[in-house]
Amino acid sequence: MFKNLRKRWRAGIVAVAAVGLGLGAVVYTQGASAATWPSATGTVKLTASKAVSGTLDGGLKRYVGSGALGSDSQDEGQDPLFVLADGAVLKNVIIGSPAADGVHCKGSCTIQNVWWENVGEDAATFKGGSSAKYTVTGGGAKSADDKVFQHNGGGTLTISGFDVSNFGKLYRSCGNCSTQYKRTVVVKNVTVAAPGKTLVGINTNYGDTATLSGITITGDSSKKISICDRFTGNKTGAEPTKTGSGPDGTFCKYTTSNITYK
């Protein structure tokens, strides 16, 4: 009889522990990051920018800057870890710290399942012409003091299935580049975790548009993260003027139903 009681007591403890673990899992998925971040399969140190043409599959190795790429600062004008030629594909890469200026796309490019563990100056900068097509699919970025994705060239950037946390801006159309373009950004099925400042910033005077859907934001019950900010950009290098924020149907294209808070 006592043996059976002990068995029932132990079963009860296991059940309670399982419930506790289940509750913990729920809290975690609604916390800082909903994505499952991969573990690195190795580490590669880059002392100079790595040129990519065609496809580079990193096999989930962690790439970090070293030497001239190892300052881990927010200084403008740093060299990137990767330079993608027009049409190049970078996939299955973990970018560790120091990350320098991340990835530069010289033309159209695809960034697939790339994870920035600690964003340097920017995670990726897009520099193609007015017809360039850039896609960021899957992956994620953490700890971006300022911007995750910087759009200096023209064309269209599509960000989907991405996870971002602890950031300044997820996307910014350059507000004061010496050459300006009409830029388009599409952000869909992205998970955002506070703290953060702005999802997208665009320049209405150059005809920029941002279309957002399937955005899930966690840890921001007071809704401090701005979804879409509008600016008047310039070519002089001066700080651009903010003119508004929120959906307007013309430049910031989304509705409140496209944003879910958890």
CA distances 18 to 6, 9, 13, 146, Å, are 18, 14, 9, 40
Cβ-contact 128, 104 below 8 angstroms: no
Predicted confidence at residue 86, as pLDDT, reads 98
Of the given ranges (48-52, 72-76, 121-125), which has the lowest mean pLDDT?
Answer: 72-76
Q: How far is 102 from 116, CA to CA, in rounded Å?
A: 8
- pLDDT tens column, 153-212: 999 999 999 999 999 999 999 999 999 999 999 999 999 999 999 999 999 999 999 999
If we measure between CA atoms, which residue out of 208, 173, 167, 170 comes closest to residue 187?
170
Is the C-alpha dihedral spanning 121, 110, 189, 117 positive or negative?
negative
Q: What confidence tier does 259 reach under pLDDT thresholds 50, 70, 90?
A: very high
Cβ partners under 8 Å of residue 151, min gap 6 = 125, 126, 157, 171, 172, 173, 174, 183, 185
Cβ-contact 109, 87 below 8 angstroms: yes
Structure-block tokens of residue 218: 């966690």
Residue 236: count of CB within 10 angstroms of its CB: 9
Taking all residues of the chain, what is their mean pLDDT, rounded to a whole number? 88
Instruction: Please state whether beta strands 109-116 and 133-137 pair in parallel, antiparallel, or not at all (unpaired).
Output: parallel
- pLDDT tens column, 126-169: 999 999 999 999 999 999 999 999 999 999 999 999 999 999 99
State which of 65-69, 70-74, 246-250 shows the largest mean pLDDT: 246-250
% the chain with pLDDT above 70: 84
- Which residues, listed in sequence order, are joined to residue 137 by a DSSP beta bridge? 112, 160
Hey, is 92 helix, strand or coil? strand
Residue listed under structure tokens 């911007």: 147
Checking if the pLDDT of 57 tops 70, the result is: yes
Q: How far is 252 from 232, CA to CA, in rounded Å?
A: 14
If we measure between CA atoms, which residue out of 34, 256, 260 comes closest to residue 161?
34
pTM, to two decimals: 0.86
